[in-house]
Structure 1
Amino acid sequence: MKIIYATLAAAALASPLAAQEVTLRFQHFVSPASANPTYFMQPWADAIEAQSNGRIKVELYPFMQLGGAAPNMYDLIADGAVDGGWVIPGYQPGRFPEAEALELPFMTSKSGEAASMAAWDYTQAYLMDDFEDVHVIAAHMHGPGIIHLKGDAPEALSDLSGLNLRGPSRPATLLLDKLGANPVGMPVPAFPEALAKGVLDGGVITWEMSPSLKLDELTRSHTDVAGDDALYNLYFIWAMNKAVYAGLPDDLKAVIDANSGMMASAWAGRAHDTGDAVGKATMTEAGNQIAELSPEVTDQIVALGQEVTADWIAEMDGKGFDGAALVEAARAAVTAHR
């Protein structure tokens, strides 16, 4: 059942002033103290308010306070249950298959900003028809995914064998399966409780999310791969309801537009880079084990990642896509922004 809210169109009929002064309610599913809300969402909202001379107010609601669940954010925005928000397309496996090319193992560099610039280019070329039900403001990636375990840091692939590990997306869980772990697909909000209850032995997520998820308390070791490329990455969009955007006067649309596209995508990715530095420092200060896999073990994981990519290409081909072309396009976008 859809949540019904007053729309801009209704407000416009109510009074001329209401058409000029609007409140936009944007929702997300993480702590307001985590990196993207702190370094992107709130500054973005502040910029919109300042540049509109206070005529647009953006209210941010963390932890899905307006209702619904994180995997359903796209539909909540499209249906008008919220005016806008943060979407992880991968939380609905199979619905946005072309987006997965950016999430394949070792596809992106470890710079969230650079990966996000690539994500915007790839989105413009391949994904806008997939997101035709919403108005896309930005498309971005986070920083490198890290292996967080309740036990010691792994030194060999065998150390991951049989572990129950959380994964955020289908490509990530496919890689965890290749590594010999038991992958458990799970959105961010469920991760800490699953760790606390012993359902999981660990999982993969960024440095920046670690403090807000209390991974300094719930896990003991944090391990990255060697080299410049991320073990995995995750694709996001920051979007708003199409009718709400269309209902804005042209001068207020221009404010949204001025804070959209490549600049907003890079900004969102940069927020994750800032948060990664803070998160890693927090885990270090807690006395947790900070580790990096050897180049030799990393090479073994890269080879398994290539198998994931090959399987993904074959799967996409079977669905009528040109899987190899999608992978090549994603790689070209990443290379252009290294």
Structure 2
Amino acid sequence: MRKALLALLLAAGVTPALAQEKTFDLKISHWVPSSHPLQKSLEDWAAAVEKDSGGSIKSKVFPAQQLGKAFDHYDMARDGIADVTYVNPGYQPGRFPLIGAGELPFLMSDAKGGSMALDAWYRKYAEKEMKDVKFCLGFVHSPSSFHSRTKKIVVPDDIKGMKIRPAHATMANFVTQLGGTNVQSSAPEVRDIIERGVADAVTFPWGSLLLFGIDKVTKYDMEAPLYVTTFAFVINKDKYNQMSDKQKKAIDNNCNTETAGKVGEHWGKMEDAGIAKIKAESSHEVYTLTPQQIGLWKKAAEPLVKTWGDGVKKNGGDPDAALAELKASLTKYNALAQ
């Protein structure tokens, strides 16, 4: 009987090892709308993993905070509420200090190269800093800036007295340093807090401004490559450890620097296209800065490097070495801002 079964399996092209392989149905969670480029990136990631696993790893993507709030996505992967999640480390100030280097102003020039550089640099640090999960990949969006409801933000002094929703912990520190007040909220909540006057301005990428409807409640847009936000895909460790070697390889094949670049590029194109669309809106005033004004912003941002470094030191890291390594990685991938 066993010989007959084996013969049937072999005739069907199924090896005994594959026949015994456990199948997995992964829950992939993110917190942006299904119309966001990340939805397709995660669907493409899931399809590639399914193919590489010989069909034994299938996935379903849950967008728009269906499985949990944006702020909770790292812990959701750690605790198995979802198997793969999309994380903004800067939503939890102080928890992931090292990856925050990618958030320092005027550091990165574009989404694809910046994503590959960040991912290649952060891998060795992720083993400690994100030890509760399996780190899959890291990436960034295109360089972005301030968008305001109340007035043009031209020089650092303009921030004084304003209520601003920052993209992450580094921009929050910047706002505080410049005399502004931070209003914390996840991306899906930004339109509401600006519309209600809880916040006067936001740091946000261009295409997403349209995607979340924030362009309907803002008017003034600074066109300057002020900052990027760092992100990660992370995986539940227990689920990964239950997999066979072949299945782990299917995951690992799609958790690499090349894939990080694809995710960053796909998102970056959407954000970059948003600039022209915002300029076309008669209700918006898009303005550029003079070299002198850019100089003021760069000077004002210098203390953020020390603030970031102090956070890294508290966790036993070497900020000087880490930042030098990141800049070298950005240079390698042609993504270091000039």
Which residue in the other structure is 1:194 paired with? 193
- Normalization by structure 2: what TM-score? 0.86
Q: For the residues of structure 1 that align with 2:56 and 2:306, how far apart are their CA atoms?
A: 50
Match of 1:245 among 240, 256, 269: 240
Decide whether aligned partners of structure 1 residues 164 and 138 sit closer, same or farther in structure 2, where only a CA change above 3 A counts: same
Contact map agreement 1:152 1:289 (CA 8 A) in 2: no
Aligned to 2:129, what secondary structure does the other structure show? coil
User: Are 2:45 and 1:44 aligned?
Assistant: yes
In structure 2, the partner of 1:304 is 300
Structure 1 65/314 Cα, relative in aligned 2: closer, same or farther at 3 Å? closer
Q: Find the partner of 2:35 among 30, 33, 36.
A: 33
Aligned 8 A contact 1:166 1:185 in 2: yes
Render the CA deviation track for 1:145-186: whole Å, top value 9, x for unaligned: 221111343333343332111102211111223334323233
Q: How far has the Cα of 1:125 moved from its partner?
A: 2.9
SS at match of 2:207: coil
| Distance in 2 between residues matched to 1:90 and 1:251, nearest whole Å | 34
Q: Aligned partner of 2:292: which letter?
A: E
The answer (yes or no) to whether the contact 1:179–1:301 under 8 Å persists in 2 is no
Q: Which residue of 1 aligns with 2:107?
A: 107
Residue in 2 aligned with 1:280?
Answer: 275
> Quick check: 250-259 or 79-88, which moved more?
250-259
The amino acid that maps onto 1:248 is M
Question: 2: CA distance between counterparts of 1:31 and 1:147?
Answer: 22
Rounded to whole Å, the distance in 1 between the matches of 2:261 and 2:36 is 17
Task: For structure 2, list consecutive stretches of 5 or more residues without a partner in the other structure.
Answer: 1-17
Alpha-carbon distance in structure 2 between the residues aligned to 1:33 and 1:245: 28
Aligned counterpart, 1:4: none
Q: Is the 8 Å Cα contact of residues 105 and 309 (structure 1) preserved in structure 2?
A: no
Q: State the Cα deviation string for residues 295-326 of structure 1 (Å, max 9, x = none).
A: 11111000111122134334544554333222
Please list the CA deviations of residues 34-71 of structure 1 after superposition, one character each: whole Å capped at 9, or x if unmatched: 23223x222222333344454432211112212x3222
Aligned twin of 1:73: 73
RMSD of equivalent CA atoms: 2.2
Q: Secondary structure at the match of 2:209?
A: coil
Q: Which has the larger radius of gyration?
A: 2
Partner of 1:85: 85
Are the counterparts in 1 of residues 85 and 234 from structure 2 also a CA contact under 8 Å?
yes
* Distance in 1 (alpha carbons) for counterparts of 2:125 and 2:52: 31
Q: Aligned in 2, Cα 1:134/1:18: closer, same or farther, shift over 3 Å?
A: farther
Residues 19, 221 of structure 1: alpha-carbon distance in 2 compared, 3 angstrom cutoff: farther
- Correspondence for 2:262: 267
Does residue 292 (structure 1) correspond to residue 288 (structure 2)? The answer is yes
Q: Identity percentage over the alignment?
A: 26
Quickly say closer, same or farther: Cα 1:43–1:315, change in 2 above 3 A. closer
TM-score, with length taken from structure 1: 0.86
CA distance in 2, matches of 1:93, 1:42: 29
Contact 1:170–1:185, Cα closer than 8 Å, also in 2: no
What letter is aligned with 1:268?
A: V
Partners of 2:23 and 2:315 lie apart in 1 by 46
Cα distance in 1 for residues equivalent to 2:24 and 2:321: 43
Q: Is the 8 A contact 1:155 1:294 kept in 2?
A: no
Q: Call closer, same or farther: CA 1:296–1:25 in 2, change over 3 Å.
A: same
Distance verdict in 2 for CA 1:313–1:55, change over 3 Å: closer
2:120 — aligned with what? 121
Q: Is the 8 A contact 1:122 1:330 kept in 2?
A: yes
Secondary structure of 2:210's aligned partner? coil
1:264 aligned counterpart, secondary structure: helix
Q: Map residues 148-227 of structure 1 onto 2, 5 A cutoff.
A: 148-225=147-224
Q: Distance in 1 between matches of 2:314 and 2:248?
A: 41
Give the 3 Å change call, closer, same or farther, for CA 242–165 of structure 1 in structure 2: same
Partner of 2:58: 57
